[in-house]
Structure 1
Amino acid sequence: MQSPDTTTASAAAARGCPMHAAAPDGVRRLYGAEAEAQPYALYEQLRAEHGAVAPVRLYGDVPAWLVLGHRENLEVMRSRNFSSDSRNWQAIRNGTLAPDSPLQPITAWQPLVALTEGTEHSRLREAVTESLAGVNRHRLRRYITRYAVRLIDGFAGEGKADLVADFARKLPAFVVAHQLGIPESAALSVGAAVSDMISGGEAALAGNQLVVETVHDLVESRKLQPGDDLASRLLAHPQGLTDEEVRQHLRLILVGALEPTANLIANTLRMVLTDSRFRGNLSGGQMTLPDALEQVLWDHPPLAVVPTRWATCDIEVGGTQIAAGDMVMLGLAAGNVDPVIRNDPDKPVHGNRSHLSFGAGAHECPGQDLGRAIAETGIDLLLERVSDATLSIPDDQLQVVGTWMSRRLTSLPVEFKPRRQAAAPPAAAPQAPREPVQPEAAPAPAPAQRRSWRFWRR
């Protein structure tokens, strides 16, 4: 049975593919400067060499499988033969994963909805999804509008802005912090801390510590004085989560909501400003903002790779034999450009939500509607206020940094005609303390507005 650590470079050599970023045995590394600089090129090389599932190496030359095919990703997501519980991993069971491995913080098992299976997963999933369903959608849009207008007013009079630093990263921080129950005064510092955690740099530990302290204080506060927020709903949920479980899931929601939503906003704004497909279609009235968001989710998923699946038995996927206990990573970005389903990656994908960006199956992202609402409402307001925005630098000078798991746009400098401040939206009524109640089911979403925007071309 073939295993990632026994595959050699013979197949690649036969096809004449360059073996950059390769481990000593010839298997390509998924990390490092070369691999992270051009990940899509690496995915296509792996696809050409191995097909829908490829052997790769992670930090410390740890062996793993990367799923490249769209259909095969869905198969792994939906099959009970693959678990999110890392205690199934051979490297954990055998003790061969180094204690200081960079994979430890990502894969170490915790009693979280993202890392559990069976009845325990069902219990935690019910608490999280029903607590999220308790979000009032009309009030949510009001708060998104309130914070978006405030941020736009902060730079509208200047005639220039960095839409990543001044808007894309701040708006989700304000909105998500409010929904969780975190004070507005702490929103931006918590958002910056989460960003530090994701970066994996020297500030990661300090960022994690700030987030841990914030959710600890939030839980203690809401135990004494419940409010209309996610922290209170998780504490009051009939599934009876412990205080520690509530804290861990609030931390998970922060990490899972802030970075992906910020990336979604930034990448959508970049496409609208620079991509001829969207400038032409939007100005011609054929492309709507929801269409643009979906295109970004196809082309630039917030997470490129999800390394949290392990085979529970010997099994074949995409013609590749995988052994029980092997790590099997979901290649969301690679699956979204699988030529089997997208023979022309430059062609816009209209009205198609079958991308892999939010996952599928039992572990599908439960908060995707919140992220979509923040992105769509915020971008809608921004484009209405500064519809003449143009890039201050050439598109090819924009910088993207990232790791083997995700990539982010570092800045998006724009110029536009200075505006006066908009009239402040009415303030929402203060939220009085309430008795804990069980969250109600979410109402059916209203049909999406189909709006078109006319943009000046550079």
Structure 2
Amino acid sequence: MNQPLPSSPCPAVDGVFPLHGAEFAADPHSAYERMRLAYGSLVPVELHPGVTATLVIGYRTALRILNDPVAFPADPRGWQSTVPGDCPILPMIEWRPNALRSSGPEHARYRAATTAALSAEDLHALNWQVEEIATGLLNEISPLGRADLLSQYAFPLVFQTLNTLLGCPPEIGERVARGMAAIFEGIDAQRGNDILTAALDELITVKQQRAGDDVTSRLLAHEAGLDRIEMIHQLVTLYGAGIEPQTNLITNTVRLMLTDPRFSGDVLSGSLTAIDALDETLYTDPPMANYCLSYPPRPVEVEGQLLPAHQPVVVSMAAASNDPAIAGDDRARNRAHLAWSTGPHTCPARAAGYLIAQTAIQHLCDVLPDLRLAVPAPQLVWRPGPFHRALAALPVTFSPTCHAS
């Protein structure tokens, strides 16, 4: 069904769409439209130069794949053996002994431990913790009249909250954040992986010596009997899902509230809520736009197309949730999007993640009700990368206040 394509800042090369460049990051939705016109639901893409995959941009096709772990398992080892070990995106998608990268009994065991450790968390206490952290950060920036909400609010809020949840001392958490950032950026990613692993190994030692009422201690005590290597990789998943995506969710939502006429005139004045903006963002600009990888162990036919064995199949949560076949006008409180995935790999921390973002945004709007962008919206820069939807910065101005308490 190849058809003439409209001009775009993200052209396909030999029919393959690159997801790793600045052009795609600047306007992914135009690229998704071109993909749909050219290929329908299944699109040949490049995750990194020389690393190809199939991107799923149809909503119903994505549901089928996400709910069929037999034909589409998450274990990448058959594919990984064909990829150079120094590939910058490998630490993001390589095999690890955790629920995200496992299938079958191993997946069930890891997921049971992680779900139990997270479900024991008191969400009321978590809400109070986020408010306390937010107040401290806003007390620092509110007298200034301007700030980068990404580096001065969203990231430190998420980072401190996650360290609290996992019982991680700040000095270890700093190294975790540094290693995780390198992995997401794909710059010296293997070194970042090493820093992350060493920091988490130290965290495990701390919790073995002094257990607490935290997620790490609960994982160690779980009947699954996770060994040290397995513990490290459960924590990798939690930090990976907790720092970068959570930061992006907050900043992407605030950006929407400050730039979209449907929200900018109403959200800060109270007619619409942070929940409405969050729901819209999870549809249009989810923090992980393209992820949920699977690797068919044998060729599988989908919609008349044969997907090869041991090659990545990537679900575009952003494109699938905006599939014209299921599009509706009102997304407020409608949570049929795929931002948290679905099926056996549904995010087990979605309740906590939603609460953290909602509380952070509501507190921000309460303290700084006249927030406005410090630059024209088209000048905001999106960080390149095949997986995330992430701003490089979110500069704002506001009327200075004395304190946030």
TM-score (norm. length: structure 1): 0.82
1:109 — aligned with what? 95
* Aligned pairs (5 A) from 1:130-145: 130-145=116-131
CA positional deviation for 1:103: 4.3
1:191 — aligned with what? 177
RMSD: 2.2
**Amino acid paired to 1:77:** L
* Aligned pairs (5 A) from 1:385-400: 385-400=367-382
Secondary structure of 1:402's counterpart equals coil
* Aligned pairs (5 A) from 1:20-31: 21-23=11-13, 25-31=14-20
Please give the alpha-carbon distance, in whole angstroms, between the structure 1 residues aligned to 2:161 and 2:323. 34
* Aligned pairs (5 A) from 1:16-415: 16=5, 21-23=11-13, 25-79=14-68, 80-89=70-79, 92=80, 96-188=82-174, 190-202=176-188, 204-282=189-267, 286-306=271-291, 308-342=293-327, 347-415=329-397
**Amino acid paired to 1:107:** I
Asked if structure 1 preserves the Cα contact closer than 8 Å seen for 2:22 and 2:383, the reply is no
Asked if structure 2 preserves the Cα contact closer than 8 Å seen for 1:111 and 1:245, the reply is yes
Please give the alpha-carbon distance, in whole angstroms, between the structure 1 residues aligned to 2:137 and 2:163. 16
**Amino acid paired to 1:377:** T
Aligned in 2, Cα 1:307/1:284: closer, same or farther, shift over 3 Å?
Answer: closer
1:420 — aligned with what? 402
Secondary structure of 2:100's counterpart equals coil
Please give the alpha-carbon distance, in whole angstroms, between the structure 1 residues aligned to 2:268 and 2:390. 27
Aligned in 2, Cα 1:286/1:385: closer, same or farther, shift over 3 Å?
Answer: closer
CA positional deviation for 1:271: 1.3
Please give the alpha-carbon distance, in whole angstroms, between the structure 2 residues aligned to 1:28 and 1:153. 45
Please give the alpha-carbon distance, in whole angstroms, between the structure 1 residues aligned to 2:269 and 2:207. 50
Secondary structure of 1:311's counterpart equals coil
Aligned in 2, Cα 1:340/1:264: closer, same or farther, shift over 3 Å?
Answer: same
CA positional deviation for 1:379: 1.2
Secondary structure of 1:55's counterpart equals strand
CA positional deviation for 1:104: 3.0
Aligned in 2, Cα 1:248/1:277: closer, same or farther, shift over 3 Å?
Answer: same
Structure 1: give runs of 5+ residues left out of the alignment. Answer: 1-10, 424-458
Measured against aligned partners, the alpha-carbon deviations of 1:366-393 in whole angstroms (never above 9, x if no partner) come to: 1122211111111111111111122222
Count of aligned pairs between the two proteins: 403
Please give the alpha-carbon distance, in whole angstroms, between the structure 2 residues aligned to 1:160 and 1:283. 17
Please give the alpha-carbon distance, in whole angstroms, between the structure 2 residues aligned to 1:298 and 1:138. 26
TM-score (norm. length: structure 2): 0.92
Aligned in 2, Cα 1:320/1:211: closer, same or farther, shift over 3 Å?
Answer: same
Structure 2: give runs of 5+ residues left out of the alignment. Answer: none
Asked if structure 2 preserves the Cα contact closer than 8 Å seen for 1:273 and 1:279, the reply is yes
**Amino acid paired to 2:58:** G
Measured against aligned partners, the alpha-carbon deviations of 1:211-239 in whole angstroms (never above 9, x if no partner) come to: 22221111111111111111110000011
CA positional deviation for 1:416: 1.9
Asked if structure 1 preserves the Cα contact closer than 8 Å seen for 2:176 and 2:200, the reply is no
Secondary structure of 2:282's counterpart equals helix
CA positional deviation for 1:207: 3.4
Secondary structure of 2:323's counterpart equals coil
Identify which range, 118-127 or 135-144, moves more after superposition: 135-144
Aligned in 2, Cα 1:156/1:178: closer, same or farther, shift over 3 Å?
Answer: same
Secondary structure of 2:101's counterpart equals coil
Aligned in 2, Cα 1:212/1:313: closer, same or farther, shift over 3 Å?
Answer: closer
Answer with 1 or 2: which has the greater Rg. Answer: 1
CA positional deviation for 1:189: 5.2
Asked if structure 2 preserves the Cα contact closer than 8 Å seen for 1:78 and 1:360, the reply is yes
Please give the alpha-carbon distance, in whole angstroms, between the structure 1 residues aligned to 2:316 and 2:191. 29
Asked if structure 2 preserves the Cα contact closer than 8 Å seen for 1:67 and 1:330, the reply is yes
**Amino acid paired to 2:19:** L
Percent of residue pairs bearing the same amino acid type: 33
Measured against aligned partners, the alpha-carbon deviations of 1:142-197 in whole angstroms (never above 9, x if no partner) come to: 21111100000001112222111110111000000111111135545543442232
Identify which range, 219-228 or 272-281, moves more after superposition: 272-281
Please give the alpha-carbon distance, in whole angstroms, between the structure 1 residues aligned to 2:190 and 2:353. 26
